[in-house]
A and B are shown apart, each in its own frame.
Chain A
Amino acid sequence: GESVGLHLPTLSVQEGDNSIINCAYSNSASDYFIWYKQESGKGPQFIIDIRSNMDKRQGQRVTVLLNKTVKHLSLQIAATQPGDSAVYFCAENSGTGNQFYFGTGTSLTVIP
């Protein structure tokens, strides 16, 4: 029979453009969120985090936006560079449980 596999959402951007990666979360009780970057063959690397009492947080070239009303999180990367090519995951936890729940990830490809 035919097999159906999971395919990561993909995003391709030109070098120098801004990238926006989106994530929807399901638990309205989640109060801490992290964005991770994972390069091929490596472990996830922390990029930026945000707590639910904030709606925006900025780092170096990255901004995370949190919209609790629609349970949506986004990661904005300014002036995207080839080294930004990777899979990006959002992770959430409720603060009461012991787990982080990871999204399936978005594969970002930067075109030189």
Chain B
Amino acid sequence: NAGVMQNPRHLVRRRGQEARLRCSPMKGHSHVYWYRQLPEEGLKFMVYLQKENIIDESGMPKERFSAEFPKEGPSILRIQQVVRGDSAAYFCASSRGALTYEQYFGPGTRLTVT
């Protein structure tokens, strides 16, 4: 049973480009969460999705960031017109149910904006 998969593991983008981060949840999990982690900091919640629905995006910046979790395929976190401050590790987690269930994390995507 494969764990949570994220790709790419490392992504380098120039300022102004778009970044697309992918997350495939564990088999049987329909709840996906995205977090951002800056160096030496804890994880900050960004968005919570259930298949085809955004449940809570209160942690997402209002502009340039979007997320989706289509019926088929991975969840995508999209950052348009990246800036240096977007450089961080982005982790996705999945769970079988809502927040009373354990979240399993992927290995993360490390985004570097040059």
Q: Give Cα A93–Cα B99 distance, bound, in whole angstroms.
A: 8
The answer to the question of A7 belonging to the interface, with a C-beta cut-off of 8 Å to chain B, is yes
Is A99 in contact with B42, judged by CB distance below 8 angstroms?
Answer: no
Question: How large, as a class, is the contact surface on chain B?
Answer: 20 to 34
The answer to whether A43 touches B99 (Cβ under 8 A) is: no
Say how far A49's CB is from chain B's closest CB, in angstroms: 6
User: What is the interface of chain A mostly: helix, strand, loop, or mixed?
Assistant: loop
A104 and B102 contact, Cβ closer than 8 Å, known pairs A42-B108, A44-B91, A99-B59: no
In the bound assembly, the distance between CA atoms of A89 and B37 in angstroms comes to: 12
Within 8 Å of chain B (Cβ to Cβ): is A6? yes
Give B contacts to A, CB under 8 Å: 4, 6, 33, 35, 40-45, 48, 55-56, 58-59, 91, 93, 98-100, 102-108
Chain A interface residues toward B at CB < 8 A: 5-8, 32, 34, 36, 42-46, 49, 89, 91, 93, 95, 97-105
6 A-B contacts (beta carbon < 8 Å)? A5-B40, A32-B100, A43-B105, A44-B105, A89-B43, A100-B33
